Chain A
Amino acid sequence: MSGAVRPDTTRAGFAGHVPGEAGIWLFIAGDMVLFSVLFAVFLTHRAEAPDLFGAGRAALDPRLGLVNTLLMLTSSWFVATGVAAARRRRPRIPAACFAAALACGAGFAGVKYLEYSAKFTAGLTPMTDDFFMFYFVYTGIHMIHVVIGMGVLYGLIAYLRGRDIAVVNLQHLETGASFWHLVDLLWIVLFALLYLVA
């Protein structure tokens, strides 16, 4: 017996552990850099036309932005709790948590549909002005992330279905969870930029 002590993988974030597969962190880093540039470009254009951006922000429904932010945060909490449950080898709970997160993602998409519909009905499109060009392009790029993330969550639920929790590969769950949290944190910054400070 070597006497080596294996890390306690039942605890969240045990020391020295990289959650998920290394490749997902490369993707996350690339996406974060890309969005950082997009955020900076937005504020640079805002500086050139503060009144136009202020009027654009005033035309958004802040309640919908708030609801979507709470949905994103809640979905992230469900996903993180699902991973924690899988780490403790609790059956059924991880899949239920991912399904709840998926429902939050669907709710987010539903609210976005209502928001886009209201804007188009009011004659506000990406061609209206710079603010709405940024609004539609940035939230559209983010929405693509949400849809991919929902596909990832569905994939994790399918992976867990009918599989003994004792043999579930936690790395798969952590990889999908990390992507979903990326979707959440990008929205947090978009919410602040578009709805609060524009």
Chain B
Amino acid sequence: MRKLKILILEDDIIEVMKLNRTISSLKLNHKIIEANNGEDALKLLENKEELPDIILLDLNMPKINGIEFLSMIKKDPMLQYLPIVILTTSNNHKDRLECYKLGIAGYVLKPLKYKEYVSKIEKLLAYWSINELRIK
């Protein structure tokens, strides 16, 4: 399985811990890059040599929210092709529709139960590990 470089955009520390713990408990070898807000994430993405294979994006964030961030990425000629999976609590139809229009690679709802969360992340990462879609 391919080792993925995952950028997680999440302001909730425990959510980040959940991802890290999930990956370690599943003994996966992916690299997690954390960004607590959109600005930090954009800075990280300036380095075009070190672009992530996938971005997990929370919608509900301070300063630049998820959808604003998404639309900025989609305007960038280089970054617009990065697969972005929304990882959110929002089951709001409006949010989903907007993300769909901007172009996303997936939309995953954060479940209440941690066990369920582990299961969803496992499947998500499994899929992207076998995915051959990439620029280089």
Asked if A and B bind, the verdict is no
Which chain B residues have a beta carbon within 8 Å of chain A's beta carbons?
A: none
